[in-house]
């Protein structure tokens, strides 16, 4: 290849690359209620009912995940105050687990979990309508909820039921209720 053809090829590739970078057009990806941009495909799927609009799905229900070390469970119930109450258990083996309960409130695509007890542990979890995902780093005050080397960092709870009855029937490892009626 000679120099002229290499320059033409380089110019062609630069133009091709520049054409791929379009400026954002109004309405191309309208922000949803949580503030994140929803794609056109996602908006169309929500409009047709193919997927649920996460901003309209209440977090009430039972979230549970089984794995080789045990079972992680989270139950969420409506509270008289208008917010929610929750109970949580994450098991990482025979002597490593985390347990807690408290109040929760919804803020867009977040579920703010405020644990009851002495030192305040507050976790801002991601909520998408189908699962609750705890962040990869939690406050050190949350260590008191855990035994052994267990911690709540990065634990996810997929939804298995979306009714208060299932949340009330949930039991922890000791066969005690995970959530109790208000």
Its pTM stands at 0.73
Q: What is the pLDDT of residues 42-67, one digit of tens each?
A: 788 878 878 777 778 899 999 999 99
Q: Which of 55, 76, 103 is the last residue of a domain?
A: 55
Cβ atoms of 84 and 76 within 8 Å: the answer is: yes
Cβ atoms of 83 and 75 within 8 Å: the answer is: no
Q: What is the pLDDT of residues 141-181, one digit of tens each?
A: 999 999 988 899 999 999 999 999 999 999 998 999 999 88
- 124 assigned to some structural domain: yes
- 175 assigned to some structural domain: no
Cβ atoms of 91 and 17 within 8 Å: the answer is: no
What's the domain count of the chain?
2
The answer on 67 and 46 residing in a single domain is no
- 15 assigned to some structural domain: no
- CATH number, domain with residue 147: 2.40.128
C-alpha–C-alpha distance, residues 87 and 174, integer Å: 14
In this prediction, residue 69 carries a pLDDT of 83
21: which 2 tokens?
């970078």
The answer on 39 and 62 residing in a single domain is no
The answer on 162 and 73 residing in a single domain is yes
Closest CA relative to residue 155, chosen from 74, 55, 61, 54: 74
The 8 Å CB, 24+ separation contacts for 166-172 are 166/61, 166/62, 166/75, 167/60, 167/61, 167/62, 167/75, 167/76, 167/77, 168/75, 168/77, 169/62, 170/62, 170/64, 170/73, 170/75, 170/87, 172/73, 172/87, 172/89, 172/99
The domain in which residue 112 lies consists of 57-169
Q: What is the pLDDT of residues 64-110, one digit of tens each?
A: 999 988 889 999 999 988 899 999 999 988 888 999 999 999 998 99
Q: What is the pLDDT of residues 103-127, one digit of tens each?
A: 999 998 999 999 997 668 999 999 9
């Amino acid at each position: 290849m000679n120099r002229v053809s290499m320059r033409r090829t380089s110019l062609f590739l630069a133009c091709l690359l520049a054409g791929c970078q379009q400026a954002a057009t109004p309405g191309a990806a309208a922000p949803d209620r949580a503030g994140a941009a929803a794609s056109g495909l996602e908006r169309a799927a929500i409009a047709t009912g193919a997927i649920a609009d996460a901003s309209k799905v209440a977090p009430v229900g039972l979230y549970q995940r089984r794995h080789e070390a045990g079972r992680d469970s989270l139950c969420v119930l409506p509270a008289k105050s208008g917010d929610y109450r929750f109970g949580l258990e994450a098991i990482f083996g025979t002597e490593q687990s985390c347990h807690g309960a408290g109040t929760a409130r919804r803020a867009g695509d977040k579920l703010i979990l405020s644990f009851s007890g002495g030192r305040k542990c507050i976790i801002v979890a991601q909520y998408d309508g189908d699962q609750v995902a705890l962040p990869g780093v939690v406050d050190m005050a949350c260590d008191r909820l855990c035994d052994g080397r267990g911690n709540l960092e990065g634990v996810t709870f997929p939804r298995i039921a979306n009714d208060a009855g299932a949340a009330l029937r949930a039991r922890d490892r000791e066969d005690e209720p995970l959530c109790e009626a208000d």
